[in-house]
Chain A
Amino acid sequence: EDQVTQSPEALRLQEGESSSLNCSYTVSGLRGLFWYRQDPGKGPEFLFTLYSAGEEKEKERLKATLTKKESFLHITAPKPEDSATYLCAVQGGGSNYKLTFGKGTLLTVNP
């Protein structure tokens, strides 16, 4: 059974204070690892897909990296508008394209 564990559960940063969120996973045949951002009361917004160990992707202040066991979402010089819950999900090698999600990390960036 695919499993995803995100840490920390919550993270509070000062504006400009860089940090990283962790996503550890176990999956049978990784098809892809996904990062989403979710604002309160809204649906998740797609950020990145990573397919193989060593891959990196960037978008503005966010950078996602992938190893064989975990992924990191690095946030460089965050701003208050980066405050949200960040979700990690994996898609295994089965035929159903099912996503298995972690519980998320609630990021708060104070001005």
Chain B
Amino acid sequence: DGGITQSPKYLFRKEGQNVTLSCEQNLNHDAMYWYRQDPGQGLRLIYYSQIVNDFQKGDIAEGYSVSREKKESFPLTVTSAQKNPTAFYLCASHRRESPEAFFGQGTRLTVV
């Protein structure tokens, strides 16, 4: 079955640690996105990539990094520079010629 897979579903991070969230899609979509969702707020764009080996900062990129070495994969690293990383992280993708974005099931990151 085609879809977007995010892993892990739950992730715990200690203060000062970097953690990497995985996002894989087998939909042959060109564009991939990372959003952050906090209670009472809309989804906010962290990074996006429209082609392999190219990506751009979104509205809240500070403290995050990404890579796009393969079309299918767009991992997000939450670095120790991100001061408030506890949130629900969502990965999305779409085809270049179609604007409808489809989402993965999310990763809930908690700082302990």
Chain A residues with a Cβ under 8 A of chain B: 4, 31-32, 34, 36, 41-46, 49, 87, 89, 91, 96-104
Contacts and interface: CB of A to CB of B under 8 A. Distances in A.
Interface in B1-41: 4, 6, 31, 33, 35, 40-41
Interface of B: 4, 6, 31, 33, 35, 40-45, 48, 50, 56, 58, 90, 92, 94, 99-106, 108
Q: Which of A32, A89, A97 has the most CB of B within 10 A?
A: A97
Nearest to A104: B42
A46 to B, nearest CB: 6
B44 to A, nearest CB: 8
A104 B42 CA distance: 7
Contact of A96 (B41, B44, B56, B103): B56
A26 B112 CA distance: 39
Contact of A99 (B41, B43, B108): B43
Contacts of B31: 97
* Binding site secondary structure of chain B: strand
Contacts of A102: 42
7 contacts: A31-B99, A34-B101, A36-B103, A96-B48, A97-B48, A98-B48, A101-B42
Contacts of A4: 42
Q: Which of B4, B41, B101, B104 has the most CB of A within 10 A?
A: B101
Contacts of B43: 44, 87, 89, 99, 101
B42 A44 contact: no
A34 to B, nearest CB: 7
Contacts of A98: 33, 45, 48, 58
